[in-house]
Amino acid sequence: MTTDASSTTNFSQVAAYIWSLADLLRGDFKQSQYGRVILPFTILRRLECVLEPRKAGVLAQVEKLAAMTQLEETRRAPSARARCS
Residue 78: what pLDDT? 65
Nearest of 58, 18, 65, 9 to residue 38 by alpha carbon: 18
* HSE of 75, CA atoms in CB hemisphere, 13 A: 6
Residue 1: what pLDDT? 47
Averaged pLDDT score across all residues of the chain: 84
Other CB atoms closer than 10 Å to residue 18's CB: what's the count?
A: 10
Domain ranges, residue 29 = 2-84
The whole-number average pLDDT for the span 14-33 is: 83
Q: Is the Cβ–Cβ distance between 49 and 57 less than 8 Å?
A: no
Q: Is the Cβ–Cβ distance between 29 and 37 less than 8 Å?
A: yes
What are 59-76's pLDDT values in tens digits? 999 999 999 999 888 888
What's the number of domains the chain is made of? 1
